Amino acid sequence: MYRFFVEKQQIRDGMVRIAGEDVRHIRSVLRMRPGEQILVACGDEWEYTCQIEHLSEEEVTARVLDAQKPGKELPSRITLFQCLPKSDKMETVIQKAVELGAYAVVPVVSKRCVVKLDERRAANKAVRWNTVAASAAKQSKRMIVPEVKPPCSFQDALREAQDMDVRLIPYENTEGMSGTRKIFSSVRPGDSVAVLIGPEGGFEETEVEEAQEAGFLPVTLGKRILRTETAGMTVLSILMYLLETD
C-alpha cells in the first residue's frame, strides 16, 4: 500500500486532503482511482488507512478507514552529521540513513572535504537531498520524513550537537573494541544521539580534538578502514540493533 505524508491540519472530520506534488504522483504516475486505499502519516505515532474518494488536479481527498500505532520509529532521535563526500554519494548516505531510522541528516564541511558548495549550489542540493529523504521515508514506511538540513561548518556542527545526550565520532586511530562496546551499550532509549562522520580523507587530528572537547566520544568500527559512506551506515545499524523495540 502506497504511503504519503501530510500535515496534521490536512486531516479533519475523518477526511484527508492531499495537495502538492503528491497529487500528480497519485494521479499520473500511480494512476490511482477512487476506491483504492493508501497509508497516510502526519509526523506522529499514528498511521491512517484511507480510501480515495475524489481526485482533482489540485487535491486528492480520502476517507480515514482506520488508525493504528505501528511503532516504526526508533525510541531515540539520531542525527547523522555527515561530512560532504564526493560525487553523488551524499544521496546514497541520506537514503540509507533514512531507511535505518535517522531522525535528521546534517551535511558538514570539514577541512579535508573536497566538495565545496556556494550558496546557490548548497540550496539546490538541499532541495534534492530532501526529495531523496522523502522518497526513502515512503519506501521504508517511516512515520516521519527526516529533515536534511543545509550544509554547515564543522564548528557549527559541534555547536548544534552540544545539547544531545550521546555524541559519537568514529575515528580510525581509536583503539579497543571493548571501550567502543561499552559506549554503544550505554545508549538508552530516549537518548538523543549525534553521529559525526568524516570525509574521504578523514578528520584532521585537530578536528578530532575539537570534537572531543565538545563532548564527542571516539569509537572504533573495527580494524578495517571504512569508506565515508559506509561508516555512518555501520554506526546507525549498530544503534538500530541496540535500540529497536519488539
CATH of domain 78-243: 3.40.1280.10
Quote the DSSP letter at residue 194: E
pLDDT band at 120 (very low <50, low <70, confident <90, very high): confident
| Ordered strands of the 3-5 beta sheet | 3-5, 37-41, 47-55, 60-68, 15-18, 11-12
Question: Confidence band (pLDDT; 50, 70, 90) for 172?
Answer: confident
* Lookup: cell for 178: 571493548
170, 235 in Cβ contact below 8 A?
Answer: yes
Q: What is the pLDDT of residues 25-41, one digit of tens each?
A: 999 999 999 999 999 98
Lowest mean pLDDT among 14-23, 69-78, 85-94: 69-78
Range(s) of the chain covered by CATH 2.40.240.20: 3-68
Question: How far apart are the C-alpha atoms of 177 and 172, rounded to whole Å?
Answer: 12
The domain made up of 3-68 has a fold known as Ribosomal Protein L25; Chain P (2.40.240)
The boundaries of every CATH 3.40.1280.10 domain in the chain are 78-243
* pLDDT tens-digit map of 146-167: 999 999 999 999 999 999 999 9
pTM: 0.86
Residue (of 82, 76, 108) closest to 92 by Cα position: 82
Contacts of 142 (CB under 8 A, 6+ apart): 41, 72, 73, 98, 101, 136
